């Protein structure tokens, strides 16, 4: 199974310039031009090993790296520590377990008994709409909120479309 872990990003002017062709003086274009998107969006991504090398590159701004990083980076980069066992994620179940979102009791309830919370969506207006159906729904898996309604500590949220190759 090939999969990619994508970080959330905000379209900035420089990224937007790569997707939408320039249209002059900054005013709204008279016509809307088609975006310059590759046929295969995965070709723009680095190979998994190269992406991990970049993700796990420590710098002086984070003296406790990866332990002071965001949850995903912290978990995926633990193996850069001397003597640490390799982090081996080969599929969705491995990733869910790594993030503490694995289902401990397959017969248990939603967000109880050690299980994460989850929601299923059979329609979409997102970029993955062409692959989301009632047969291949988008699945959201997340840290369940505490019963007392307080803010969960270490909240993790993962979205997955079975028809796509990324989470």
Q: What angle do CA 49, 51, 55 make, to 5 degrees?
A: 115
User: Which of the given ranges, 10-19, 30-39, 45-54, 125-134, has the highest pLDDT on average?
Assistant: 45-54
Within 10 angstroms of residue 99's Cβ, the number of other Cβ atoms is 22
Which of 38-42, 113-117, 124-128, 130-134 shows the lowest per-residue confidence on average (mean pLDDT)? 124-128
* DSSP three-state, residue 103: coil
Residue 4 is classified by DSSP as B
Global pTM value? 0.67
Cα separation, 4 vs 42, whole angstroms: 9
The rounded percent of the chain whose pLDDT value lies above 90 is: 28
Return d(Cα 5, Cα 150) in angstroms, integer.
29
- Mean pLDDT within 8-25: 47
d(CA 107, CA 119): 16
pLDDT, position 135: 81
Can you give the pLDDT at residue 7? 36
Q: Which residue has the higher pLDDT, 22 or 13?
A: 22
Look at residue 80 and give its three-state secondary structure. helix
Residue pair 144/118 in contact (Cβ under 8 Å)? The answer is: no
Residue 10 has pLDDT above 60, yes or no: no
Q: Which of 1-5, 30-34, 152-156 is the most confident on average?
A: 152-156
**Which of 48, 80, 53 lies closest to 65, judged by CA?**
80
Domain boundaries, the chain: 46-88
Q: Is the peptide bond before 66 cis (omega within 30 degrees of 0)?
A: yes
Exposed, middle or buried, 76 (CB in 10 Å: 0-12/13-18/19+)? buried
Terminal Cα distance for the chain, rounded: 12
- The stretch 18-37 carries a mean pLDDT of 67
pLDDT value, residue 127:
64
């Amino acid at each position: 199974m090939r999969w990619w872990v994508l970080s959330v990003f905000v379209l900035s002017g420089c990224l937007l310039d790569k997707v939408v062709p320039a249209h002059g003086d900054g005013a709204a274009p008279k016509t809307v031009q088609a975006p310059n998107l590759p046929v295969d969006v995965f070709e723009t991504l680095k190979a998994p090993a190269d992406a991990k090398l970049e993700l796990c590159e420590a710098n002086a701004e984070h003296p406790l790296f990866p332990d002071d990083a965001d949850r995903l980076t912290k978990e995926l980069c633990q193996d850069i520590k001397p003597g640490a066992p390799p982090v081996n994620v080969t599929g969705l179940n491995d990733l869910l377990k790594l993030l503490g979102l694995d289902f401990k009791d397959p017969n248990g309830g939603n967000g109880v008994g050690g299980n994460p919370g989850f929601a299923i969506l059979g329609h979409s207006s997102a970029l993955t709409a062409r692959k989301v159906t009632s047969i291949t729904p988008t699945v959201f898996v997340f840290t369940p909120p505490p019963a007392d309604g307080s803010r969960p500590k270490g909240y993790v949220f993962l979205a997955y479309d079975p028809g796509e190759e990324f989470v």
